Amino acid sequence: MARAHANGIELEYEAIGLPAGRPLLLIMGLGGQLLHWEEGFVARLAAEGHYAIRFDNRDTGLSTRFTGTPDLPALMAARLAGQPSSAPYTLGDMADDALGLLDALGIPAAHVVGISMGGMIAQELAIRHPARVKSLTSIMSTTGNPELPGAKPEAAARLVRPPVSTREELIEATTETFRILAGNMTDADLASVRATATRAYDRAYFPEGQARQLAAIVSAGSRVDALGQLTLPSLVVHGLEDPLIPVEAGIDTQSALRGSELLLLEGIGHYMPRSTWPEIVGAISKLTRSAD
């Protein structure tokens, strides 16, 4: 792993695969560290000819941390009233972080994959800097369209639960979150969630950053019209049983992105179990090959 100066901050990143491969930037979701892109999944992408880059977003992992406690209800009210956001930073700022990482690595354009909040950031990156994005894959994410259905109450509650203080509490809380969000999970999937939660705690547990990232999401407006102006190759992946970002959001994203492909995963919630990896990696690889 290494650190790069990007957009005035430092980002921790790791590149996997041959540098001569197709550059693929992986953007993680709310509160997730780079290691939440599981090694087996990234290894499959590298085996398909990608130079896969995973990184810690600002306020997570070993990247630059910020300060300030956002008032989420006030931010939501301001957005609905069309008032300027007072969030510590925006999804656009996080998209510019990703662009800064590409600059630091000397990559003129990359294929971009984002999951959940990472999908929102990937969309922003494509909107703000279309010449730097070869293809866009939005996984289990949303356009921010206010007309879409919201999360189920039990799922939404997991995002604003009080932070835990001990290692074991985090492991149990994370496991319970994925039981709620993921739908059908095998014993192997649950074991993987526990192992990743353990590694994440030991590497860089920083729950304060999640509230600021959530503020960036809450403050963001709809990207539907801007996405409709894009002409880049794109793929939308969504679980049919997603309780956090309902599948209607994936369908809306695919509708907004002209000519995009839609991959719906039966029996899958807000999680990519190992059983989905071959299909998802295959779809991403098909997209990046055709885009190149």
Asked whether the predicted pLDDT for residue 110 surpasses 90, the reply is yes
Report d(CA 80, CA 157) in Å as an integer.
Answer: 21
Asked whether the predicted pLDDT for residue 74 surpasses 90, the reply is no
Report d(CA 115, CA 37) in Å as an integer.
Answer: 10
Q: How far is CA 197 from the centre of its chain?
A: 17
Asked whether the predicted pLDDT for residue 215 surpasses 80, the reply is yes
Determine the angle formed by the axes of helices 167-182 and 187-204, rounding to 10 degrees.
140
Encoding tokens for residue 271? Answer: 């999680």
Asked whether the predicted pLDDT for residue 205 surpasses 80, the reply is yes
pLDDT band, residue 206 (cuts 50/70/90): very high
Report d(CA 280, CA 286) in Å as an integer.
Answer: 10
- CATH code for the structural domain at 2-151+209-291: 3.40.50.1820
**233-261 pLDDT per residue, tens:** 999 999 999 999 999 999 999 999 999 99
Parallel/antiparallel/unpaired status of strands 2-6 and 9-16: antiparallel
pTM: 0.95
Are 13 and 101 in contact by the 8 Å Cβ rule? The answer is: yes
Please state the domain extents for the chain. 2-151+209-291
